[in-house]
Amino acid sequence: MFFSPLQSIPPDAILGLMTAYQADPSPRKVDLSVGIYREESGETPVMQAVREAEIHIINEQATKAYISPIGIEGFRASVADLVFGDEARALRPRTACLQTVGGCGALRVASSIYRRAVNNGAAYVSAPTWGNHFGLLGGAGLHVNEYPYYDLKRHLLHIDQMLDCLRHAPARSLVVLQVGCHNPTGADPNSTEWDAILDVIEERSLLPLFDLAYQGMGTSLDADAMPVRKAAKRFSELMVAVSTSKNFGLYRERAGALVALAEIPSQVETLESQMKDITRGMYSMAPAHGALIVERILGDAHLRAEWCKELEAMRLRIDRYRQRLKAALQARRPDLDLDWLTRQRGMFSLLGIGRDDVETLRRERHIYMVGDSRINIAGLNDDNLEVVASSVAALLK
């Protein structure tokens, strides 16, 4: 017997909720759990720009031969441009870029690169963070530490504690910094706070790994990338894990990139050879379709403009429902300061209610959210907003 020693592993908290939601027969059920964008109908549509790009690709594609192990040239170049903006051209000679299997693939390869480069290095993620950071960094053999990030009682960043923790991190540690639309809190540092974070990174010689999974869904494509661009001006080395799952709606196509800045141009080839070696030993190379779509959209003025408009519509819908939820809750709880709901960005916020209450909401009201009370604002719509507000209001602290 080979497999009999294996123990069954409980489903990932969020994926388990997805299954429970699908199995719930209630017509009133509300899904605020999984982190995907939804429109008013509750659907996650294929963006129009993506559809148009796909038609071109299908019509023109002459082969299904392997792409290059480093990825599709046009995709890699245009993603690096999107991340670095006006700085991209100047940074190009120092930019290494690997096409990856989504943002997850980029985080995993980045962790392995760090592990190969730094002996006995330590890694840091925010407390709380997106749960899969532990699996992805831990999967590369890193021990994962946490820095304080969010004060759930006051719905504010723990910025002083965060800085203090990083000041005491061992030199040359890896620090994962979510850029914009923080998952699960929705709370992002402001520009001054980012400067202070980057100061500590410099002081302690830490290596920043920016997790850029929601570019364009917080404030704008440029504003959301601001911390990475600030860092690129200051530091000789950094890494960025890019996901196109959310901002292009390409979730299942698994298109992402690991962008890294090398200290000097001659190190780029070494860095990319290491990236290729790591993926070769895991899955050989990333799938082509999603990356071809992104390449096409970003390289075509008409498609790019259409995509920007659609991305803006997503962002505005999220903002609108942040305001509507706040108003509906405030009407029921005038005693509370709920400004944090509209100050936060992106799809996620933590309601700050107990795990028991989350469980009761699921059992009795068929409202699904993650156990830590993370809600996906994009799951709200005209039909469910009042039900959610009236079910949740009394539980808020």
Quickly count: other Cβ atoms within 10 Å of residue 393's Cβ.
16
**Site map 145..164 versus ligand PLP, x via CB under 6 A:** --------------------
- The reply on whether position 290 binds ligand PLP by CB under 6 A is no
Q: Which is nearer to ligand PLP, 247 or 391 (CB)?
A: 247
Which of 31, 130, 188, 276 is an active site residue? 130
Can you tell me the distance from the alpha carbon of 122 to that of 230, in angstroms, rounded to the nearest whole number? Answer: 24
Rule CB under 6 A: which of 31-70 touch ligand PLP? 35
Alpha helical stretches, state H, the chain: 13-23, 48-60, 73-84, 88-91, 102-117, 132-139, 159-167, 191-203, 221-224, 226-234, 266-280, 289-298, 301-332, 340-343, 355-360, 385-392
Angle at 101 between CA 97 and CA 105, to 5 degrees: 75
Rule CB under 6 A: which of 235-274 touch ligand PLP? 243, 245, 251, 256
Taking the alpha carbons at both ends of the chain, their separation in whole angstroms is 53
- Whether 111 and 139 have beta carbons less than 8 Å apart is answered as yes
Which one of 78, 173, 178, 344 is in contact with ligand PLP (CB under 6 A)? Answer: 178
Can you tell me the distance from the alpha carbon of 378 to that of 248, in angstroms, rounded to the nearest whole number? Answer: 15
Q: Which is nearer to ligand PLP, 85 or 135 (CB)?
A: 135
* Closest CB 149 distance from ligand PLP, rounded Å: 13
Q: Which is nearer to ligand PLP, 103 or 216 (CB)?
A: 103
Can you tell me the distance from the alpha carbon of 323 to that of 342, in angstroms, rounded to the nearest whole number? Answer: 6
Using CB atoms, what's the residue nearest to ligand PLP? Answer: 102
Can you tell me the distance from the alpha carbon of 248 to that of 335, in angstroms, rounded to the nearest whole number? Answer: 40
Rule CB under 6 A: which of 63-122 touch ligand PLP? 102-104
Q: Is 194 a catalytic residue?
A: no
Which of 31, 188, 211, 224 is an active site residue? 211
Which of 246, 276, 307, 357 is an active site residue? 246
Size of the site for ligand PLP (CB under 6 A): 13
* Closest CB 220 distance from ligand PLP, rounded Å: 19
271-274: long-range contacts at Cβ-Cβ below 8 A with a sequence spacing of 24 or more?
271/96, 271/113, 272/70, 272/96, 272/97, 272/98, 274/113, 274/116
* Closest CB 251 distance from ligand PLP, rounded Å: 6
Which one of 130, 149, 150, 210 is in contact with ligand PLP (CB under 6 A)? Answer: 130
Rule CB under 6 A: which of 186-205 touch ligand PLP? none
Q: Is 230 a catalytic residue?
A: no
Phi first, then psi, for residue 151 (nearest 5°) are -95, 100
Rule CB under 6 A: which of 325-364 touch ligand PLP? none
User: HSE (CB half, 13 Å, CA atoms) of 349?
Assistant: 28
- Give me the amino acid identity at 156: L
DSSP assignment letter at 364: I
Sign of the CA dihedral running 329, 330, 336, 342: positive
Cβ neighbours of residue 109 closer than 8 Å, sequence gap 6 or more: 98, 100, 258, 275, 278, 279
**Site map 207..226 versus ligand PLP, x via CB under 6 A:** ----x-x-------------
Query: Shortest CA distance to 206 belongs to which of 241, 237, 246?
Result: 237
* Closest CB 178 distance from ligand PLP, rounded Å: 5
Q: Is 130 a catalytic residue?
A: yes
Residues taking part in catalysis: 130, 211, 246
Residues of this chain that interact with ligand PLP (CB under 6 A) are: 35, 102-104, 130, 178, 183, 211, 213, 243, 245, 251, 256
